[in-house]
Amino acid sequence: MYKNRFVHHLTKVFVDIMFYGGIICCAALPFAMPKLAFFLGYDKALVLPFTIILFSSGLCALFILWQLKAIFKALLGGDPFISANVSCLKKCSAASFVIAIIYIIKMIFSPTLMTIIIAAMFALLGLFTLTIKDVFAQAVAYKEENDWTV
């Protein structure tokens, strides 16, 4: 029998905090970016492209967190191996690849070590999430077969 653990609840709380904090950051980004660029000494011409990059990758990150919230809802409900979670993981993978593509494109215009690291991390996250999706899909198939047997 599946048992919820404290770490599941704690992780869900952190996902919720990151989700709502991310909404605030994305909403504040167009207003904060010019001030931040001035503070860091960036050229005014870079404000709009950096805002677009950060906002679009932030929206993808919010989408990933939204999918994680759905997964945790099923997990805390006691039934993590459902086809809806497989779908959520597939969507998370797609959003991770979109973020990787955004930062690969950014490397063309403004190559930095951090841009390379972010692109590589999200590409790897996309691949990892696809692998976990396949594991979940197999677990769902076993579970459904077992449910029909009993």
Which percentage of the chain shows pLDDT scores above 70? Answer: 97
| DSSP state letter for 46 | G
Residue 112, phi-psi category: left (phi > 0), alpha (psi -120 to 50), beta (remainder): beta
Confidence category of residue 77, pLDDT binned at 50, 70, 90? confident
What pLDDT score was predicted for residue 2? 60
CB atoms within 10 A of CB 67: 21
Query: CB of 136 within 8 A of CB of 89?
Result: yes
Where is pLDDT greater, at 66 or 40? 66
pLDDT on residue 38: 87
Which ranges constitute the DSSP H helices of the chain? 6-40, 47-76, 83-109, 113-149
Q: Is residue 148 over pLDDT 80? A: no
Return the domain boundaries, the chain: 6-149
Query: Model confidence over 82-95: pLDDT tens digits?
Result: 999 999 999 999 99
Confidence band, pLDDT 50/70/90 cuts, at residue 112: very high
The whole-number average pLDDT for the span 11-18 is 95
What is the chain's mean pLDDT, rounded?
92
> pTM for the full model?
0.89
H-run or E-run covering 3: none
Per-residue pLDDT for 1 more than 70?
no
From CA 60, how far away is CA 91, in angstroms rounded?
10
Report the SS3 class of residue 150: coil
